[in-house]
Structures are given as C-alpha cells and as structure tokens.
Amino acid sequence: MNKLNKISKRYWNKQPCNIKHSKKKFLSKEYFNEISKKRYFVESHIKDFVQFSKWKNKKVLEIGFGIGTDAIEFLKNGAYYYGIELSDKSFDITKARINLFNYNNKSKLINDEAENLNKYFNSNSNLDLIYSFGVLHHSSSLKKCLKSIRSIMNKKTICKIMLYAKNSYKYFLMKDNLIRYEAQKGVPVIDFYNIDDLNQLFKKFKILEIKQDFIFPYKIKPYKRNKYYKIDHFKYMKKDIFNSLKKNLGEHLLITLKK
C-alpha cells in the first residue's frame, strides 16, 4: 500500500463515513435504520442511479462500502453482495450490520484497497454490477483502480461510479473558501473532475451515460440533528429551477460504463 493510501486508511478509520448520522444506540437496528433513512432522504438520487431492485439474484461488487448502507439495500433487494473497503473500522461496522440483519450467507466482505481488486476477482467472476459511490476520488491512484476494475469486468458487467464534479456549486464554494462542510473535514485525498477528464479517464471503457446531480440545500447545524431546513435562497427557489441547477451544477457525476 502506498503512503497516501496508508494516511487515507488512518483517516477513514478515525471517522468512518456517516457514522454520526444517528444518535441511537451504536450498532443497533434503530441506529442503522436511521442512517439509511437519512441517506436516501437527503441523497434521493442514489436510488434512481443504482436501481437496487434491478440487481435481485445478481452478483454485485461494491468498492468502498463505508458503513454498509448501500450494501444492506442491495441485500434487502436480493443481490449476492461482495464488497471491498480500505478502512478496517468501516469493515467491522459493515460486518456487524450484515450480521444484525442476517445477510451473512449472501455476502462476502474484503478488507483491502481497491487497487488490489484483481487479487480477488477476474473477468470470469461473472460480476453483474461493479458499484462505487464517492470513493475513487479519494484514492491516490485512481488510474490503477480503474485498470483493476476493467480487468475484472466481462462484456456484460455494468459499472456504476460516482465521482465529484469540478463544474459544481460545491466546488465553486470550496474554491472561494466559502466552504460548507456537510461531509468530513480534512480528507487526505480528494479530486474533482470535469467531462473532459472523464472522457480521458474512461477511454478504455464504453461510457453508457454520465449524469450530474445533487446540491446540498440544508442548513448544516439542524441537519446534524436530523432537521431539514433549507438555506433561504434554496427555500424560495422554484423546484424546476433547482432541478435544472442540480443537472448542470450538481456535485455528483453519475457514470455508467461497460467494457
């Protein structure tokens, strides 16, 4: 593992993604259910992008599963689930979550970096979906990860990846230091991409679709207490204008690929 990924691992071990999204008893069913509820309320575009029910009885591999919210959604919808995750803390939480909801026999978790995917899978692994949401822009070697991903796909494998958009409302705020932290501060590695970058990065893949979505419209303090109050300019903005803003300046690039 290279030095940056070691630093990154330490970071994600200290603060697994979304771990503070519920105040219920840590690792209880209520705790995990509240985390899921918050995720799909605030980031409702995830369900449109992934279409969880489409993967019933299919083999799904997730890269960077964090605390396993999407993992549980795939399992609930009847997928055979494989996941790889760099942080051991996140790995342990997801393992506990999968045990708690009794999905052990339909899943396999790996505690390793995405760069090593081809140690565990190959193009004969018959994966129907390779999925990664908000992860690969945190890798210090995105190109190596993509090479690894491509090498384990077959002609039928669909790959769905979310990367951060450079041409986005969030990036412009960050660039001008007006940063609004709805996610963790101080992430060691983070990259943002524009469409030209994607065409270059994915030139060995067949790009089926690239969509842009998601602007976080809420006041941060109440949001942390699970109260959703929009900041004024979003509160008064017409829905169709906000939707168009998300499509053009959303912070998530939702990429669908084939080999």
Ligand X SMILES: C[S@@+](CC[C@H](N)C(=O)[O-])C[C@H]1O[C@@H](n2cnc3c(N)ncnc32)[C@H](O)[C@@H]1O
Question: At closest approach, how far in Å is the CB of 133 from ligand X?
Answer: 4
**What 3-state DSSP class applies to 59?**
strand
Dist. CA 225–CA 140, nearest whole Å: 33
Q: Which of 134, 158, 170, 217 binds ligand X (CB under 6 A)?
A: 134
| Angstrom distance (rounded) from CA 256 to CA 69 | 20
Q: Which has the closest alpha carbon to 37: 213, 170, 218, 228? A: 228
Question: Could you say which of 22, 139, 157, 212 contacts ligand X (CB under 6 A)?
Answer: 139
What distance in Å separates the CA atoms of residue 44 and residue 107, rounded to the nearest whole number? 25
Span interacting with ligand X, options 63-71, 191-199, 233-241, 244-252, rule CB under 6 A: 63-71
> 49, 60, 66, 257: which one contacts ligand X (CB under 6 A)?
66
Closest by Cα among 258, 175, 253, 257 to 214: 253
Alpha-helix runs per DSSP H in 83-177:
88-100, 142-151, 169-175
Quick one: which of 114, 130, 161, 198 contacts ligand X (CB under 6 A)?
A: 114
Answer yes or no: are the C-beta atoms of 46 and 39 closer than 8 Å.
Answer: yes
| SS3 label, residue 67 | coil
Measured from the CB atom, the residue of 190 and 241 that comes closer to ligand X is 190
73: contact with ligand X by CB under 6 A: no
100: tokens are 């708690």
Q: How far is the CB of 169 from ligand X (least distance, A)?
A: 18
| Binding of ligand X by 83 (CB under 6 A) | no
Report 6-45 residues binding ligand X (CB under 6 A).
8, 12, 17-18
From the list 86, 108, 106, the residue with the least C-alpha distance to 95 is 108
Q: Are 65 and 51 in contact (CB under 8 A)?
A: no
Output the smallest distance, CB 38 to ligand X, in A. Answer: 11
| Amino acid occupying residue 180 | R
Cα separations in angstroms, 159 against 51, 130, 136, 144: 13, 5, 13, 16
113 touches ligand X by CB under 6 A: yes
Decide the pairing of beta strands 129-133 and 158-164.
parallel
- Residue selected from 73, 85, 213, 251 as contacting ligand X according to rule CB under 6 A: 85
- Count the site residues for ligand X by CB under 6 A: 23
One residue of 35, 79, 86, 109 binding ligand X per CB under 6 A: 86
Question: Segment contacting ligand X (CB under 6 A): 128-136, 168-176, 236-244, 250-258?
Answer: 128-136
Does position 94 interact with ligand X (CB under 6 A)? The reply is: no
Q: Does 251 bind ligand X (CB under 6 A)?
A: no
Q: How far is the CB of 57 from ligand X (least distance, A)?
A: 23
Footprint on this chain of ligand X (rule: CB under 6 A): 5, 8, 12, 17-18, 63-66, 69, 84-87, 90, 113-115, 133-135, 138-139
